[in-house]
Structure 1
């Protein structure tokens, strides 16, 4: 079976397609690359600006190591599995990202993550040996309990500030995950990362390297404790940060107006549409006649009605020019042609207690049938963004929660609202208690919009003696999945005509697992007998006891299909096949007979994919199907 995509190989292929003259006999010729780019485009000498740390090269090795894992469906832990458009994945997130990469490359509109802040007491995963196999690594550190829960004393490493690689370990953990995240984003995608002062400086440099400095969109302080925490010697911390990086084609959808902002639209026109008056003058320091003379011209007002015109007359007798508060000459926000075009909708009014007049224009609450939105500010604050609000929201669903600091639901709603439209996909691969999932489910229902998420979380253990442990929770992944279930239940209970349950409410649950197919190992073959034994073992590609549905979802991912792709089981001449995309792709995973060939080919799919074991060691049967597919112009793949 194919492994997950190799990012390094993909980038070499992209570079070769872009600059083929830079490659000779398949190898990169650095001198030829320099010639192709032009000497002035390259930095000469050994000194340059760069982010580096102990272990960076090894972090790239981790990135470039393919995954042999897969995702195993968990129907019993899902809600409406067959129809759900949301996905929850339990497993180590770097492996999960590698497994998802082929199927979701360039398809994700929004990524939000809340990684460990590296406070000095965090425990997180980072590799410490790079020459051993993943299996040996997992075995050495004894990472799994009997129940399959990742143990802190094994897989997790505490990264203390006394460590000589305190920042390096954190950066090595983040780099490969961010690189794959970049690969998943669409050309109009955006990523938000929560962080604090411990690593915000390093994270910004790292994201500049991964996404490019031109994609930096903002470093947003989020005030989540206005009183401040007693956690630092000199300053009481009141905020965290959101780093925002946007791909070149991203366009913000804005934020919904607050009730206070909506209340400012007090006027109504003849059609009953609400609007407010705004000053046509610009007020900025650079908005002067001297600097912008084309925006300084007169508008004439009827003093009795406030109606406006461009030309002076007996009726329009008051000349109004843009004047700043200090009585210096200013400018209008619109040019002459736009003011002339809209002059009938303008209003002139004398400033109370002064001889000066102002010109105002209408701003409507709705435009083209859509409510006006506001541009996100560079600082976010409000009681709905507080840590207390976040904890209250989680406890409302899971009362046993204690000593847990989730993100505020409204923070995630703000991120989703400005980033996603109908049918867009988001990923949160540090999903924790799944605040992101709750935010999207509730926002979808409130706005009658179908957005979808993939949440991934480690099966990190919960202390058995904690309130959550005593309530039966064994892992953070279980906590997050339970939260999603309870949000869906609450929404179904409250749904009515005013707040319809948008789409099919549910999610598919998956578990990161070893592949269902055998992996060829050539490193232990020294004799013809060992080779024969290996070949005999590979008479069937699938492992003994592999479930059909498990193999199906592994193959969907291997062939670039999303986890939510609708699957249609088909009965064909007494056998069963699985169809996707309107029967354009068929999977044969169960016993195949000669009677199935003609009706299968008659379906006229583009491709048929079968595992070798279904032919039950009957090579003529497999050959016959292959020939029939060739004659019909159908691609046939046997694994």
Structure 2
């Protein structure tokens, strides 16, 4: 019986397979770091296959830095990790479709590859701006440089995942670029074909970020670089300029199919329409009939109902030819004023106007808020306590959502911070009746012991983020009690951890028979059925937010995920009656514990039972029934 892998995909091997299918002559054999021979790519041959001229030399237009290749390797490297459910820290665990995930975002993104491949409609992130005084991720390829790490001062006892990237660091820009490149490479796979990504940034790395996005997402998929007016007053202590804006860079997965929803029309614009002549087609507003420059066939005299003779203004002409104008008069689409003596104008009906407005690339704080306003609102939400200096405005993120999400979209933020994105998703759902789902990912960065957050009892940033979602959700419902009864303000908490499986699961060949005999189980002792279930969901590529139930069948606990997308039993000594009952229900997938069967014949019998009850799927049984 096939075992679950519990390992993220090896993207390098997959890429080699894709290249081999197109250019088999570019595939070769080479020795890996372990000394073993493996398949590889002859890059010189590949370059020649992609060029109509003789490739000679290495000059080309490219954006590179120290560590770029290593960051690509890091992005493609498989990991053996899992996400462990934390029901007690969640809200509405059984009914919510939202996720809050604690852990290194690169590793979390890798774990989400199978379950959310091509399913995320919008990504918003607010990464470190690399100001010379903030923290960035120390990935494996960076941590291997021990001397440099000592100089930079690694912080965070949990695997040293962060370091303070000071501008005295010799790889100041390179380390930041490497961090962003690897994460964007993996995140791109999660975007839907018509999905978009918004990234906030300031002047420190704006230029490099855009080049990275050109590399990862494609230069042609650039949509816009928005300027957000984040400050409303100058800082007079500044020596040269007081910066009052940040940028939001926006890219599409595929710009040829992505659609912009536009912004909702406001009441002020609609109030300009009226109906002075009681036209049955509804309210309208007048529009100028003249245009310019003059075109001969559109220059003619118009006689109003009162007898007044009117010509276009000097050097201009009318919108229509005389014939078309007379047709418009018959259709009651020309307005001469109540007394019939005005210069004619066109009636533009509200019903014929676009119900959205094309956004500009400058977003003023009067429209989407500023950072100080966002700070004060967040402070009020936390009973007057201030935990973040520069949180993003809810209205700012809500505008991104309005432009490119639909009412059932999945929204991802893998630099969640204060969880503004989750707040914005719930707020917009409350306003338009949407069912958008959010996935927040955040490393549990420790709060400074001198900070107000730490003094208030929050040990790390995730605790603040989760509490912000709880409070924001309750406030939204309290403010809109009649329309938010079914609003999803909950979230399932999942935490990144090492694999549920012991090392023997992955490398049984390294163990002797005597060693194996002493191992009763290949599953770590501290793991629960829920841990194993969610590990299987990740490995099988199922969403982590769907409902599930558990029931007792002949003394065994059987878990049913989303009405049969997966059924699992992790008990020992599983009787045949339980296997038969599961097979009778014809689940799409079934998984059992390897140690749950007395011997190999018992495991083989499982296939026969499933074939008996699911003869129409007999050829797929070996792919649909697995053990851990």
Does TM, scored on the shorter chain, surpass 0.5? Answer: yes
Task: Describe the shift of the 1:79–1:301 C-alpha distance in structure 2 as closer, same or farther (beyond 3 A).
Answer: farther
Where do 5+ consecutive residues of structure 2 fail to align? 30-38
Q: Which residue of 2 aligns with 1:425?
A: 410
- After TM superposition, the structure 1 = structure 2 runs for residues 28-177 of structure 1, keeping only pairs within 5 Å, are 28=41, 30=43, 33=46, 37=50, 39=52, 45-127=57-139, 129=141, 154-177=160-183
- Give the superposition deviation at 1:303: 1.1
Write the deviation string for residues 20-49 of structure 1: whole angstroms up to 9, x where unpaired: 565578654557656764516x97642111
Q: Please state how far the C-alpha of 1:540 moved relative to its aligned partner.
A: 3.2
358, 367, 385: which is aligned to 1:375?
Answer: 358
| Aligned equivalents of 2:506, 2:587: Cα separation in 1 | 36
CA shift in 2, pair 1:182/1:165, >3 Å:
same
Question: Given the superposition, is the C-alpha separation of residues 39 and 106 from structure 1 closer, same or farther in structure 2, using an over 3 Å criterion?
Answer: same
1:4 aligns with 2:8: yes
**SS of residue matched to 1:212:** helix
Q: 1:298 to 1:583 in 2, by over 3 A?
A: farther
Structure 1: how far apart are the matches of 2:400 and 2:320?
A: 30
Q: Indicate yes or no: 2:346 matched with 1:360.
A: yes
- CA–CA separation in structure 1 for the residues paired with 2:554 and 2:121: 43
Report if the CA contact (8 A) 2:407-2:433 is conserved.
Answer: no
Does the C-alpha gap of structure 1 residues 524 and 630 become closer, same or farther in structure 2, counting only changes over 3 Å? closer
Q: Distance in 2 between matches of 1:43 and 1:583?
A: 55
Q: How does 1:266-281 map to 2 (within 5 A)?
A: 266-267=274-275, 270-271=279-280, 273-279=282-288
Q: For 1:110-138, what per-residue CA distance to the aligned partner results, in whole angstroms no more than 9, with x for missing partners?
A: 000000001110111123646969xxx9x
Pairing of 1:591-606 with structure 2 (within 5 A): 591=572, 592-606=574-588
**C-alpha distance in structure 2 between counterparts of 1:5 and 1:407, whole Å:** 34
2:196 is paired with a residue whose SS is: strand
Kindly tell me: are residues 45 and 229 of structure 1, through their superposed partners in 2, closer, same or farther at Cα, counting changes over 3 Å? farther
**Structure 1 residues 599 and 334 mapped into 2: Cα distance closer, same or farther (>3 Å)?**
farther
Aligned to 2:261: 253
Q: Does 1:516 align with 2:500?
A: yes
Q: 1:59 to 1:289 in 2, by over 3 A?
A: farther
Asked whether the 8 Å contact 2:227–2:362 carries over to 1, the reply is yes
- For the Cα contact (< 8 Å) 1:218–1:378, is it kept in 2? yes
Q: Secondary structure at the match of 1:626?
A: helix
Deviation of residue 361 (structure 1)?
Answer: 4.0
Check the 8 A contact 2:83/2:494 in 1, yes or no.
yes
The reply on whether 1:441 has 2:426 as its aligned counterpart is: yes
Aligned to 1:227: 233
Equivalent of residue 346 in structure 1, options 316, 319, 333: 333
Question: Out of 363, 372, 394, which is 1:388 matched to?
Answer: 372
Check if 1:609 corresponds to 2:591.
yes
Q: Which residue of 2 aligns with 1:309?
A: none
Superposed counterparts of 1:276-291, under 5 Å? 276-279=285-288, 288=293
List gaps (5 residues or longer) in structure 1: 306-314
Please tell me whether the aligned partners of residues 579 and 585 of structure 1 are also in contact (alpha carbons under 8 angstroms): yes
RMSD (Å), alpha carbons:
3.7
SS at match of 1:70: strand
**Equivalent residue for 2:470, pick from 469, 485, 491:** 485
Return the match for 2:489 from 493, 505, 515.
505
Shift in alpha-carbon separation, 1:162–1:477, aligned structure 2, 3 A: same
How far 1:372 moved relative to its partner? 1.6
Cα deviation for residue 624 of structure 1 reads 1.4
TM-score (norm 1): 0.83
Query: What CA distance in whole angstroms lies between the structure 2 residues aligned with 1:23 and 1:289?
Result: 66
Q: Secondary structure at the match of 2:587?
A: coil
| CA distance in structure 2 between the aligned counterparts of 1:256 and 1:241, rounded to whole angstroms | 22
Q: Deviations over 1:426-472 (max 9, x none)?
A: 10011111111111101101111111110111111112232221111
- Name the structure 2 match of 1:312: none
Contact 2:154 2:162 in 1 (8 A): no
1:449-505 deviation per Cα after TM superposition (whole angstroms, max 9, x unaligned) = 1111101111111122322211111111110000000112212323332x3334443
1:193 to 183, 196, 199: 199
Aligned-pair CA distance for 1:410: 0.6
Write the distance in 2 (CA, Å) between the matches of 1:96 and 1:339: 66
Answering whether residue 553 of structure 2 is matched by residue 572 of structure 1, we say: yes
Deviation at 1:425, TM superposition (A): 0.5
| In 1: Cα distance, 2:581 partner to 2:303 partner | 83
Q: Which digits, 9 at most, give the CA deviation of each residue in 1:384-431, with x for residues without a partner?
A: 421121112211211211452100111011011111112110100111
- Deviation of 1:536 (Å): 4.0
**What TM-score, normalized to structure 2?**
0.85
Identify if the C-alpha distance between structure 1 residues 533 and 334 changes in structure 2 by more than 3 Å, giving closer, same or farther: farther
In structure 2, the CA distance between the partners of 1:532 and 1:18, relative to structure 1 (3 Å rule), is same
CA distance in 1, matches of 2:140, 2:497: 22
